[in-house]
Structure 1
Amino acid sequence: MELNLNRRQFVAAGTVAAMGAMAGLAGCSSSDAKTDAKTDDKKVEAPEKLVFAWEPGASEGKYENMRDLIAEAMAEGAGVPCEPMT
């Protein structure tokens, strides 16, 4: 059997296969872990700050404004200061 797929069809088929694999693996979790998490009375402390590291390609000066805006949004969403690291 010979398959003649163009690039778009190949990517679509790969995406469907990957999503199917993820859905199959999602069902492999243990029900005991879920009940333990609900009954556990330990509290998790919030971190003092978040450090967000950027890859070298995004460390250039022309991306500084973008990095600051993302750090500000992360700090607002998490409720703790966020420090961008280049």
Structure 2
Amino acid sequence: MDRLLRLAGLGLIAVVALFVLLEVVSAILGLVWWIANVVVSLAVLALLAYLAYLAYDRFYRDGNRGNGPSRGRSHEDDRERLLE
């Protein structure tokens, strides 16, 4: 009878230990999953911000520059004409 109680006690302790171990592993995996989710979300936001910057740079800033020479270039041309 003592041996049966000892085996039952050890079995109960083993089941409780297994349950605690699985809970700890579950918590760790949940934390890792959350961190990975945050990193992927931030990477997607960074990519979208970069694409928005490229679109702004291409369409807004280039559209306001015009096709003529820049002011710096025209001043250099004026200096060369004055020196001739």
Question: What is the TM-score of this pair, normalised by structure 2?
Answer: 0.35
| Higher relative contact order, chain-length normalized (CA < 8 Å, sep 6+) | 1
More strand by share: 1
Considering only CA atoms, is the larger Rg found in Structure 1 or Structure 2?
Answer: 2
More helix by share: 2
